[in-house]
Amino acid sequence: PPCCKIGPSILNADLSQILSECNKLLSNGADYLHLDVMDGNFVPNLTFGHPIVKCLRPKIPQAFFDMHMMVANPEQWVEPMADAGANQYTFHIEATRDVPGLCRKIKEAGMKAGIGLKPGTPIEELLPHIDEADMILIMTVEPGFGGQSFMSHMLPKVEYLRKNYPELDIEVDGGVGLGNIQSCADAGANMIVAGTAIIGAEDQRYVISTMKETVFN
């Protein structure tokens, strides 16, 4: 797959202005929006859920909503999220006992299915399920908070997947910025999430376009 799409995470944006934050990111070159859903259970933090997505969808009909579901019961939110207008639904492999069933449910609801791995989860747990998913998310921080340091020792997971699955969509998420995006792309990631590196920047357009220039080579 061509490298790379940039998907800003709005986690650390001004959430009182969620629509204008999304619009700003899109007009500054975001390829998609990475929306972090946390339930205070799978991770020790809370964000938002399908009601917010449902309100955003008609205001930005063209945006691709990549839902990162950091929730303990991912089966529960598939239909509400599909109904709200989500495009992709990434659950954590650590949160379900039935990966194939959940992937099927997500696809039947009309969304793309993503499988996410926390840093401590070995790639072996994923291997039986790769064909069931549309995308694999390799976390490069412990999920729960923006602004953490990038874990470069997760990149071998990406390298392994890219070597064995040349067509697979592979996303990295956590601590990615201008200083390490090249290493993500070199490892084989083709969907790059960046939160604070973009949200915290004076010039979002500059950061997003420089990220793209860095990896388009």
**Would you name the residues annotated as active-site residues?**
36, 173
Residue 175 contacts ligand DX5 per CB under 6 A:
yes
- Among Zn ion, ligand DX5, none, partner that 196 touches (CB below 5 to 8 angstroms by kind): ligand DX5
- In whole angstroms, what is the distance from residue 197 CA to residue 69 CA? 21
Residue 144 contacts ligand DX5 per CB under 6 A:
yes
Residue 194 contacts ligand DX5 per CB under 6 A:
yes
Q: How far is the CB of 166 from ligand DX5 (least distance, A)?
A: 26
- In whole angstroms, what is the distance from residue 48 CA to residue 36 CA? 8
Residue 117 contacts ligand DX5 per CB under 6 A:
no
Nearest to 47 by CA among 19, 67, 76, 23: 67
Q: Which 75-104 residues touch ligand DX5, going by CB under 6 A? A: none
Residue in 13, 103, 141, 215 binding ligand DX5, rule: CB under 6 A? 141
Cα separations (Å) of 147 from 85, 176, 189, 203?
28, 9, 20, 18
Q: How far is the CB of 160 from Zn ion (least distance, A)?
A: 21
Cα separations (Å) of 91 from 71, 183, 202?
8, 25, 32
